[in-house]
Amino acid sequence: MLDKPLNPRGPELRDGTAIGELIDREARAVSLRVMHDAEIHRLELEHLWAKAWIIVGHESEIAKAGDFVRRRIGEDKVILVRQKDGSIRGMLNVCPHKGMQVCRTDAGNAQAFQCIYHGWTFNRDGSFRGAPFKSAMYGDALKPEEQGLRPLRVALAAGIIFACWDDDAPSLDNYLGSFRFYFDMIFDRAEGGLEVLGPPQRWVINANWKAIAEQFGGDNYHSATLHRSLAEMKLVPGDPNTPDYWGLNNKKVSTEEGHGCIIFELNAMYEAIASMTKGDTSTSLDKLRMTPPAGIPSSMVDYLADRFSPEELKMLAETPPSVGGLFPNIAIIAFMAPLPDHSLAATYGIHSFMPLGHDKMEYIHWNFVAKNAPQEYREQCLFSSTLNISTSGFVEQDDNEIYGALQESARGFIGQQQSMQYLAISGDNKPEGWLGGGAVHTDFAKDDGQWKWWLRYFDYMTGALQGGK
Amino acid sequence: MDILTGKSTGARRPAMVETGDRIAYGDPDYNAVMDFLIQEARMLDQYELAQWREHLAPEIFYYMSQRRTLARGGPALDTGSYWYYENIDTLDLRINKFLNAPSAFAEDPPSRIRRYVSNLTLFRSAEDNAFVAESYLQLLRNRDDSPTYETLSCLRKDVLRREGDKWLIVQRHIMVDQAVLGTHNISFFL
């Protein structure tokens, strides 16, 4: 990334403003115009959604050969299909003949996909299979090898399906980069892997997708105000007028790739529980048995000692990566949340924010659980995730009140001259012996993560990544 | 599992309720159930949640199903993930948030919501005082400056129990027709 220009201008909008001018790197501010501009949306489809690795589902959604789901990347509908050999193929859901969608359902199992318009048919891998009256209609004019559904790159990480349109983009490993360590600690920790708890929830918010996506770059600061009702309901003991109540002194991780997460400090919680239960907290496994990581029932905790090194196990027990974001549009949620009786239950899953034009988005939420977890544990994950992080959840209910109003601000001519500010930066102060990569921010819940999210966004939008990482 | 007591927590799916004979429009029981559903909608529209709470049975299971667009013959409703998945404790918490938390921003300022209840199909059950009530609900929600409404159209299948002259909701299954929900959050009851 050394040859990357410091202030790339990128493509110009119709009024002569360059995309690169919408970020002020000195003042650390981003113009509100990025939230409400059809031209910018169009450029995002080209420079971001057609270039980046995007999460489209989990492999457990398409377990058997022929199983498929219909999803979106940017504004493009795609199909993900499980093949006979167990691999997953992705393809554009557009018939090459006349542009009709060849798949008209959200999910199912198919031997082949037949377009209902003229009957062109495609194999599970997207290759052309046939057309009605083919030789009478086309003679030699139709070349089957040129008429497949447009293919999509697909790669898996911890069973999560990523897809990418750009053949020249670096690998998914490269894309996750130094965040991979944290990603694996969050999602690759169940013996036998994870699975989704049912199909994803989807709903629409009248706001630009970035209004939410940048928040998950590391904005924990908002919790103390926007989520104050959590304290008012007295679900969690303590003094909500202190930063620690909201985890604002927790460590944060941010990476050059635009990914990041918050590290929860759990030792105080273990001590509190141990003092009530006389539980043992002498080893990492003792602690993890007391309160297993989200998605993992206590019966599956012992596996963690095989899966992780002793140092990693200590990190998972005492300072686990818990809430975060994957660039560009994914929220990661993995923590134990209180139920009405003050017991703790797993809230575990991801959100995805997909644009529907420049002022609307589809919000998609998947719940995760260890595939081998017993039924009772799965019920409890569903119960807790619905209560906290679904669109009826105590947390997301109030978050979702923000974005539409923010969009209204960005609609105004003067409003668009305002900016979103990232004044509070702590810089990298990684503790000695820290296991993971990226920068570690130890002082207060500052803006480092969100700011790096925006730097990455402008890397894509200005073309600064071309020909390199 | 409750880590302190070892007892399991969470919503419990109730046993299926056997549906008996249909009760026709105009029957006194039909009128009584319809009257309750109308009064319930009125309470919810007016945010009289403490009064609504009095109509929730302690063993209530209140849930709202998701749907997908699937080929004909596929399941009409999804299982595994839900918009709502509630027992009395979580309903109490939600009511408490609305009534008592000064920072319940999702409904402060409150939405203007109108619930239209219709198409009641009523059945007897194995118990004398319990009924299975299927009704349509159209919910129109308006917030802030929007001249348009967020609309939810659903079928509700309730198990209702009559205790004296009072009705209790024992089960409520809400089946919304949208695959992609047309509201930015669910901070209200249906």
Mean predicted confidence (pLDDT) in B58-66: 95
CB contact under 8 A, B8 and A380: yes
pLDDT at A282: 87
Interchain CB contact of A379 with B (< 8 Å)? yes
CB contact under 8 A, B105 and A340: no
- Which structure tokens are listed for A344? 């703790």
Sheet holding A23-24, edge to edge: A23-24, A29-31, A419-421
Q: pLDDT confidence of A26, banded at 50, 70, 90?
A: very high
Q: Bigger pLDDT: A236 or A185?
A: A185
pLDDT at B14: 62
pLDDT beyond 50 at B3: no
Find, among B83, B82, B88, B137, the residue nearest to B113 by Cα: B137
B127-181 pLDDT per residue, tens: 899 999 999 999 999 999 999 999 999 999 999 999 999 999 999 999 999 999 9
Mean predicted confidence (pLDDT) in A194-218: 95
A234-269 pLDDT per residue, tens: 888 889 999 999 989 999 999 999 999 999 999 888
Mean predicted confidence (pLDDT) in A95-106: 97
pLDDT at A269: 82
Q: pLDDT confidence of A277, banded at 50, 70, 90?
A: confident
Query: Chain A contacts of B94, Cβ < 8 Å?
Result: 394
Interchain CB contact of A466 with B (< 8 Å)? no
Query: Chain B contacts of A204, Cβ < 8 Å?
Result: 180-182, 184
Mean predicted confidence (pLDDT) in A347-356: 97
For residue A380, the 8-state DSSP code is H
% of chain A beyond a pLDDT of 90: 86
Q: B14: distance to nearest CA of chain A, Å?
A: 13
pLDDT beyond 70 at B91: yes
Interchain CB contact of A397 with B (< 8 Å)? yes
A352-401 pLDDT per residue, tens: 999 999 999 999 999 999 999 999 999 999 999 999 999 999 888 999 99
pLDDT beyond 90 at B15: no
C-alpha B10/C-alpha B89 separation (Å) is: 9
CB contact under 8 A, A232 and B70: no
pLDDT at B2: 41
pLDDT at B16: 67
pLDDT at A368: 96
Interchain CB contact of A225 with B (< 8 Å)? yes
CB contact under 8 A, A391 and B181: yes
pLDDT at A3: 53
Find, among A181, A354, A355, A318, the residue nearest to A255 by Cα: A181
Q: pLDDT confidence of B6, banded at 50, 70, 90?
A: very low
pLDDT beyond 70 at A4: no
pLDDT beyond 80 at B45: yes
Q: pLDDT confidence of B8, banded at 50, 70, 90?
A: very low
In this structure, which amino acid lies at residue A217?
G
Query: Best mutation site among B67, B83, B144, B184 for testing chain A: the one with the most A CBs within 10 Å?
Result: B184
Query: Chain B contacts of A375, Cβ < 8 Å?
Result: none
Query: Chain A contacts of B10, Cβ < 8 Å?
Result: 339, 345, 376, 379-380, 383-384
Find, among A340, A325, A330, the residue nearest to A366 by Cα: A330
pTM for the complete prediction? Answer: 0.95
C-alpha A452/C-alpha B4 separation (Å) is: 41
Which residues pair with residue B139 across a beta bridge?
A: B115, B152
Q: What proportions of chain B, in percent to the nearest 5, are helix, strand and coil?
A: 20, 40, 40
Mean predicted confidence (pLDDT) in A36-44: 97
Find, among B36, B66, B43, B38, the residue nearest to B113 by Cα: B43
Find, among A439, A186, A172, A136, the residue nearest to A334 by Cα: A186
pLDDT at A205: 96
pLDDT beyond 80 at A466: no
pLDDT at A315: 97
C-alpha B190/C-alpha B188 separation (Å) is: 7
pLDDT at A201: 96
pLDDT at B11: 55
- Does the interface predicted TM-score (ipTM) exceed 0.90? yes
Q: Bigger pLDDT: A433 or A339?
A: A433
Query: Best mutation site among B1, B12, B176 for testing chain A: the one with the most A CBs within 10 Å?
Result: B1
End-to-end CA distance of chain B: 29
Arithmetic mean of pLDDT over chain B:
91
In A186-215, the residues whose Cβ lies within 8 Å of chain B are 196-206
pLDDT at A96: 98
Q: Check if the beta carbon of residue A149 is closer than 8 Å to that of residue A92.
A: yes
CB contact under 8 A, A277 and B3: yes
pLDDT at B4: 38
Q: B64: distance to nearest CA of chain A, Å?
A: 10
Query: Best mutation site among A235, A343, A388 for testing chain B: the one with the most B CBs within 10 Å?
Result: A343
Which among B92, B93, B180 is the nearest to A204, CB-wise? B180
B101-121 pLDDT per residue, tens: 999 999 999 999 999 999 999
pLDDT beyond 80 at B7: no
Which among A199, A342, A380 is the nearest to B80, CB-wise? A199
Arithmetic mean of pLDDT over chain A:
94
pLDDT at A268: 82
pLDDT at A5: 60
Mean predicted confidence (pLDDT) in A6-33: 94
Beta strands in A190-329 (DSSP E): 194-196, 201-205, 251-254, 260-263, 321-326
pLDDT at A341: 83
